[in-house]
Chains A and B, each alone.
Chain A
Amino acid sequence: MSIVDHPLPRQSDIVIYRKPRWTEGFIHVLLFICGSISILSTISLVIVLGHDALLFFLLPDVTLVDFLTGTTWLPSIGKYGVIPLVTATLITTFFAISVALPLGLSAAIFLSEYASQRTRGLLKPILEILAGIPSVVYGFFALTFITPLLRTLLGNDNVQIYNMLSAGLVMGIMILPLVCSMSEDALFAVPHSLRDAAYSLGSTKVEMIFQIVLPAALSGIIASVILAISRAIGETMIVALAAGSGSSFTFNPLNAAETMTGYIARISGGDIAYDTPEYNAIFAIGFLLFTTSFVLNLIGRRVTSRFREVYE
């Protein structure tokens, strides 16, 4: 049997040894640098916040204990208790979640369990528009529409012009699309066979949703709420415009009070001198804000990846 019908390549034609590919290497390095910039950005965030927050705590009349437990925040007279800012943040966040969770989750249920493909295609973009509106516009809305409305409904004497309720409610509308789309993803991930199983046992659609689908999607929904809380805590423009300026230690949502972000925005909006207590306080509060949102995001993503693992 003759094996060779066609000449084999000569040994010298076979060049498979590594040759310098300068462009490839150059591009690889370039892309690596791009990838590292994000790390750089985190490192500089931590250094900046850490360094200047440290300067703040090294001030003679600031102690960490006072900072974390004091109930008066008046840097100009040397009172550095962050509690009033934190409570105001928590109160606005509470109202935001009280709006965003029920409405967002219900909307998600509607979109995933009830809406036809066409209705979904119609409604989703509207929610996307809502999500794409800049927060300063929400702030304008809170101050010029919701606050007057609240004052009409509850009485001008009860509701201050700047109040936490108005800011919180509007913030809820702002983060509603976030809760909705993340919850919808979670609901969508529940296998269809579970729904069929519930139906075949004679359950109604709502029983199926509440007793089968929602529990199965619970971790995803929880993740959406955690991320929503993180968004609400970090939101600035709405509270800066509508919640009030000047910290006050109050639990009445109809009163004005300044949140952590509100303080940062107000102080830095004026011309403050560098390296004053007020200026360094921005970094201490920023550090608190950063770590809080970092931890919340971390938990949120852990929970999300958990529900992905279960169903994929």
Chain B
Amino acid sequence: MGYIQPTYQSNSGIKQRQILARYWSKIFLGSILIAILALMVMLINVINDSYGYAAIEYEYDPSIYTPKPIEDLNKVELMKLLSENLSTYRWRTIQQDVSIDQLEVDEIRELVVEELLKPTVVASYSLIPSLFNRTEIHQEINFYHPEARIDFYSWLDFQFLIKSMSVVPENSGVRTAILGSLWIILVAGIFAIPVGIGAAIYLEEYAPSGKFKKIIQSNIDNLAGVPSIIYGILGLAIFVRVLKPLTSGTIFGLELSTGRTIISAGMTIGLLLLPVIIINTQEALRTVPMSLRQASYGVGATRWQTLWYHVLPAALPGILTGAILAISRGIGETSPLILVGASSFINKDPTNIFSNFTTLPLQIYYWTQRPQDQFRNTAAAAILVLLIMLLSLNAVAIILRNHYSRQSRP
């Protein structure tokens, strides 16, 4: 290969080289197909674990509450069942949580099943075996759990979104985690987006080129490459420990005495996103043509007027896209929050920046670690929620970009 022998080169030599060329081109294509395959297998794997047959056993038999089958009871009878059999405390909490009189019959029946019969999942199956090995699954369940009811269970359903964490997988949900993720990314965004854009503007438009600018620039490039868990260490040391009076809210008169709060997590993620946002914004600013700046300076505009009225609007789609992509990176970050977050079980919704928190990725991490099989199902369902969130964010970024680039064209 490589030597060209014009006169005595035989035809077969060329043929071999061409066969080799074709063979390699298949390898190149194959590599990218493997990447795509991996993506698809990942998605299928997650969906596979989010749906499937589950064997459900009731802790309490319906017959101990009522002679009639529960399906035949009407609204009044169901209400009576609840009020008679629940502890007064529990009954009062339920009445506070949901306005029971306005519920449909079916909803109340669900409540009765939940509260009185206490169903537990004793075995769960993935989607693919559930679809193709139905009979074996039914036999297996009938053999091991003769009492159990077999249901096609959707781990990702509305209940999953509105329930918070629980020690039992089937009662677990991601509400607290979603709220935690949103609170944290809100704090991170409020800090990192303005500061990041400001820093980028400073570097691109103000900083005199020289040693100082070079140092800041290479510093930012380096920060972007620091492993995210290092930011967790930083967050633990600075926000959780050193700034504890601030981040726990004690100097604002709050009782809570831990620095492992939303504000600490948000600032940690914010610091992590800062270099990403700066670099993206710098790139967006660099695409604005010099001639536009000159036009503005030429009519006697100041630097800030030029930036505010011309450069920033022109760079806005790029800046926004960059910020949204950074936000979606921040939502998915897990390792820094392992250090900053509380290890204990969080099932209270965050209400302010001094609340304890859990996040969607953290929840996925904890559930994946659990020994019970069913937590694997909830982890998969939570991954689906996370991926849907991230995909919709990216879609927003793309739509924004297209919208603006169409607008600015003549």
Distance between Cα atoms of A107 and B232 in the complex (Å)? 34
User: Is the Cβ of A110 less than 8 Å from the Cβ of B29?
Assistant: yes
User: Is the Cβ of B227 less than 8 Å from the Cβ of A235?
Assistant: yes
Pairs A-B, 10 closest by C-beta atoms: A234-B227, A134-B332, A34-B198, A106-B31, A297-B225, A236-B335, A110-B28, A35-B202, A31-B202, A107-B32
User: Is the Cβ of A176 less than 8 Å from the Cβ of B35?
Assistant: yes
Is the C-beta of B172 less than 8 angstroms from some C-beta in chain A? no
Distance between Cα atoms of A21 and B376 in the complex (Å)? 61
> A214-257: contact bitstring with B at CB < 8 Å (1 yes, 0 no)?
00000000000001001101111100110000000000000000
Distance between Cα atoms of A240 and B338 in the complex (Å)? 11
User: Is the Cβ of A48 less than 8 Å from the Cβ of B232?
Assistant: no
Query: If the complex has contacts A126-B36, A137-B383, A204-B21, are A143 and B222 also in contact, measured as CB distance less than 8 A?
Result: no
User: Is the Cβ of A290 less than 8 Å from the Cβ of B199?
Assistant: no
Distance between Cα atoms of A129 and B387 in the complex (Å)? 10
Is the C-beta of B157 less than 8 angstroms from some C-beta in chain A? no
Cβ < 8 Å to A, chain B residues 6-62: 17-18, 20-21, 24-25, 27-32, 34-36, 38-39, 41-42, 45-46, 49
A-chain residues with CB within 8 Å of residue B225 when the two chains form the complex: 227, 230, 293-294, 296-297, 300
A-chain residues with CB within 8 Å of residue B201 when the two chains form the complex: 31, 34
- Using CB atoms, name the residue of chain A closest to B215: A39
User: Is the Cβ of A103 less than 8 Å from the Cβ of B227?
Assistant: no
- Using CB atoms, name the residue of chain B closest to A172: B38
Cβ < 8 Å to B, chain A residues 263-312: 264-265, 268-271, 274, 282-283, 286, 289-290, 293-294, 296-298, 300-301
User: Is the Cβ of A137 less than 8 Å from the Cβ of B42?
Assistant: yes
Is the C-beta of B90 less than 8 angstroms from some C-beta in chain A? no
User: Is the Cβ of A261 less than 8 Å from the Cβ of B390?
Assistant: no
- What is the CB-to-nearest-CB distance from A105 to chain B, in angstroms, rounded to a whole number? 8
Q: Can you list 17 pairs linking A and B with CB atoms under 8 Å apart?
A: A28-B206, A32-B206, A34-B196, A35-B198, A39-B215, A104-B31, A106-B27, A106-B30, A110-B29, A129-B391, A132-B332, A133-B42, A137-B332, A145-B41, A204-B21, A261-B229, A268-B339
Is the C-beta of B284 less than 8 angstroms from some C-beta in chain A? no
Distance between Cα atoms of A30 and B219 in the complex (Å)? 19
A-chain residues with CB within 8 Å of residue B4 when the two chains form the complex: 201-203
Distance between Cα atoms of A270 and B45 in the complex (Å)? 29
Distance between Cα atoms of A113 and B27 in the complex (Å)? 13
Is the C-beta of A86 less than 8 angstroms from some C-beta in chain B? no
- What is the CB-to-nearest-CB distance from A110 to chain B, in angstroms, rounded to a whole number? 4
- Using CB atoms, name the residue of chain B closest to A40: B271
B contacts with A: majority SS: helix
Distance between Cα atoms of A227 and B226 in the complex (Å)? 11
Is the C-beta of B249 less than 8 angstroms from some C-beta in chain A? no
Is the C-beta of A189 less than 8 angstroms from some C-beta in chain B? no
Is the C-beta of A54 less than 8 angstroms from some C-beta in chain B? no
Query: If the complex has contacts A133-B332, A140-B364, are A31 and B274 also in contact, measured as CB distance less than 8 A?
Result: no
- What is the CB-to-nearest-CB distance from A50 to chain B, in angstroms, rounded to a whole number? 11
User: Is the Cβ of B233 less than 8 Å from the Cβ of A298?
Assistant: no
Cβ < 8 Å to B, chain A residues 71-87: none
Is the C-beta of B1 less than 8 angstroms from some C-beta in chain A? yes
The residue that A132 contacts in the complex, of B49, B220, B328, B344, with Cβ under 8 A, is B328
Is the C-beta of A207 less than 8 angstroms from some C-beta in chain B? yes
- Using CB atoms, name the residue of chain B closest to A177: B35
User: Is the Cβ of B199 less than 8 Å from the Cβ of A37?
Assistant: yes
- What is the CB-to-nearest-CB distance from A153 to chain B, in angstroms, rounded to a whole number? 15
Query: If the complex has contacts A27-B304, A37-B274, A205-B21, are A241 and B387 also in contact, measured as CB distance less than 8 A?
Result: no
The residue that A144 contacts in the complex, of B49, B206, B216, with Cβ under 8 A, is B49
The residue that B219 contacts in the complex, of A31, A42, A130, A271, with Cβ under 8 A, is A42
